[in-house]
Structure formats: structure tokens, C-alpha cells
Amino acid sequence: MLERELPRVISGANSEKAENLKRLSGHLALFKESIFTSEIQ
């Protein structure tokens, strides 16, 4: 959900909010990569 929603919200946000959301997006990408790996499951 969050991954799908973020690009839309970032594009419509003012610069400060967009920067915050981009940082959030970076954390999310790393988390997605590590949490859903077959190694853990």
C-alpha cells in the first residue's frame, strides 16, 4: 500500500514534505528488500 501511494503523494507535496517522504521511501525500500527475503521466511 505504502509503496504504491508514496510516489503520488511525493509529487504533490511541497519541497519540505517531499524530502521527508523521500527519506521515508528510502527506509521502506531497504526494509522491503530485507524483510521479505526467502532467507528470513
Partner 1 sequence: MIMKSFESFLTEERLERLNFETKVKRLNGLVSQMGEGYRKGSERVKRLPVDSSCRIMMEPFRQVHGEEEVKADIDYVKDRERKWQEEDHEREQESIGEQFELLKTAIFNKYLGERFIVVRSSFYDDYKNGVDNVMVDIQNGNVVCAFDEVGDDSFFKKLKEEKVSAKNLEEGGSSLKYGIKLKDGHPVATRLQNLPIFCLSLSADKIREGIQEMEFSVNKKSSAEDKMFEVFMEELKSQVI
Q: Using CB under 8 A, list all residues that contact partner 1.
A: 1-6, 9, 17, 20-21, 23-24, 27-28, 30-32, 34-36, 39-41
CB of 36 to partner 1, least distance (A): 7
* CA–CA gap between residue 7 and residue 13 (Å, rounded): 10
- Smallest gap from residue 5 Cβ to partner 1 (A): 6
What is the number of H-type helices and E-type strands within the chain? 2, 0
- What does the block give as the cell for 2? 505504502
3-state secondary structure of 40: coil
Q: How far is the CB of 35 from partner 1 (least distance, A)?
A: 7
